[in-house]
Structure 1
């Protein structure tokens, strides 16, 4: 069969003659990972952390990079007895804390605070944060606002809503690992 050319021999000669070069992406380009990563943004109705144990276990399992508080009344009693102790505890756990709603309300003119302005502020905040492989938790005290922010941010970010059952399951898993 003189008309048959061995493809394997042809490819071996060709690949041996060509230098192996893989162009690198431009500096600062985010590369896709070959495995699933945790969600970038986790939206949480803060009342789901009724006990400190739930928050502690959830924080140990998810290792958040930052807590973005979008609540009108940002209490931290599910972390520690006082706000100062709670902020210190978060700092020791290498978790940042940012009260966005308070800052937003302070900067907004009276009567001009709207959902679109708050959503734009949150999008701007998320794009300005440094890239981290740890999730960002957003705390809410209004379920309708949480739902609307979820729909808005889902267009540009990997967002998940942590339901109470999920939080309790994470805490139960953490308890089992300790045994």
Structure 2
């Protein structure tokens, strides 16, 4: 057994010799992953936001980088009283807002390829967004479209569907923290 070297003893000597402060990053530093990660996507049926406080709590909880709106009628009354004020509020919170479906519907696309064209348009937007570890919210007003997007995007991305109960729990947690 003369040829066996104790690796554990060697590592203990090495780590004991180095101060702990040198091994740890400076306080308040966020560690970066050594590889790029796919965007974390949160799919939301937007009617689940009944009032501003529920949306504010959800934004505080998810810290979104962007909102991609795939609704036919993209109201933002749960953000602010007017659309202009809502867009300004999102801008101040450093959240990009993209009304994809409103822009997309103006194009003349045959109904057979409509979904695949919309999906590819959204994927192009994902690649155009800066690399960030913040979530991307996708708003829907059609539950079937939400389901289809969830199935398709789940193949390439980390997808979460935020059900109404989840949003209510986030709001309850936020309200409890304020007390």
Give TM-score scaled by structure 2 length: 0.79
- Aligned counterpart for 1:31 among listed residues 22, 29, 34: 34
> Which residues of 2 match residues 81-96 of structure 1 at below 5 A?
81-96=81-96
What corresponds to 1:129 in structure 2? 129
- For 1:117, what is the secondary structure of its paired residue? helix
On the 8 A contact 2:39/2:132 being kept in 1, the answer is: no
What corresponds to 2:150 in structure 1? 150
Q: 1:151 to 1:5 in 2, by over 3 A?
A: same
| CA drift at 1:139 | 0.2
| CA drift at 1:4 | 3.8
| CA drift at 1:58 | 0.7
On the 8 A contact 2:38/2:157 being kept in 1, the answer is: no
Cα distance in 1 for residues equivalent to 2:47 and 2:4: 69
On the 8 A contact 1:44/1:163 being kept in 2, the answer is: yes
> Which residues of 2 match residues 101-120 of structure 1 at below 5 A?
101-106=101-106, 108-109=107-108, 111=110, 114-120=114-120
Cα distance in 1 for residues equivalent to 2:35 and 2:39: 14
Cα distance in 2 for residues equivalent to 1:60 and 1:38: 21
Structure 1: tracts of 5 or more residues without a match: 17-29
Q: Which moved more, 1:92-101 or 1:38-47?
A: 38-47
On the 8 A contact 1:40/1:157 being kept in 2, the answer is: yes
| CA drift at 1:95 | 1.0
On the 8 A contact 1:39/1:160 being kept in 2, the answer is: no
- For 1:56, what is the secondary structure of its paired residue? helix
Rg comparison, structure with higher value: 1
Give TM-score scaled by structure 1 length: 0.79
RMSD: 2.5
- For 2:74, what is the secondary structure of its paired residue? coil
